[in-house]
Copies of this chain bind each other. A is one copy, B any other.
Amino acid sequence: MTGQVRTVDGRVAGRRGQATRQKLLDCLSEMLSSSPYRDVKVIDVARKAGTSPATFYQYFPDVEGAVLEIAESMAKEGASLTELAAGRSWVGKAGWQTAQDLVEGFLTFWRKNDAILRVVDLGAAEGDKRFYKIRMKILNSVNNSLADAIKDLQSKGKVDKDVNANAVAGSLVAMLASVAGHQKGFQSWGVKQAELKPSLALLVHLGVTQKKPVK
């Protein structure tokens, strides 16, 4: 179902074209890591890719369009985040391990894609539905798993019925995403990387189970 890759004017991209296209995406991705989103210019991306601006516009309507492309492929990769929370136990020592693994996996993923995720975050916050949808796609996998875990605990009477599973799960995921995006920021609060993870895991565990973890 992955329709053929097409240029802006409707031609089908061949082997060479796809390579160029990919190169442009790679270079854009790199630029996003090294300079502010606002200052990323088409001409710079093209130069870096050893081609001309006109070529860029053959494959993408504008910078935003290309960014969406990158984000989309990242979102696919991010689907694997589901495994971090789906079908795991939240009881006893296993529960603490689940929380830790979730935090670890989440932070790793976020750090690996931080440049593009920043832009996605901004686009979503600005109300752009396309970015918004991508952000959802990534967070949804984790969010749904967490919400399911909470609902499960509720049905067993271990968590209060009046807790809104979706809202709590969503807030926890937002916390993970935000902290991941400002990891450097915590250093100025005198909080080191290594201390951050257990704290996040603690909060996740508390949020899901309403109990202190058994370590």
Contact = CB atoms under 8 A, between A and B. Distances in A.
Interface of A: 36-38, 64, 114, 118, 121-128, 132, 135-136, 140, 143, 160, 163-164, 166-168, 170-172, 174-175, 177-179, 181-182, 184-186, 188-191, 195-196, 198-200, 202-203, 206-207, 210, 212
Contacts of A190: 166
A191 B166 contact: yes
Contacts of A122: 37, 118, 121-122
Contacts of A175: 171-172, 174-175, 178-179, 203
How many monomers of this protein are in the complex?
A: 2
Name, among A140, A166, A174, A207, the residue most crowded by chain B CB atoms within 10 Å (CB to CB): A174
Which residue, of A126, A163, A172, A181, has the highest number of chain B Cβ atoms within 10 A?
A126
Given A136-B188, A166-B189, A203 B172 contact: yes
Nearest to A126: B36
A170 B198 contact: no
B163 A171 contact: no
Given A38-B38, A188-B136, A195 B174 contact: no
Contacts of A135: 182, 185
Nearest to A128: B36
A173 to B, nearest CB: 9
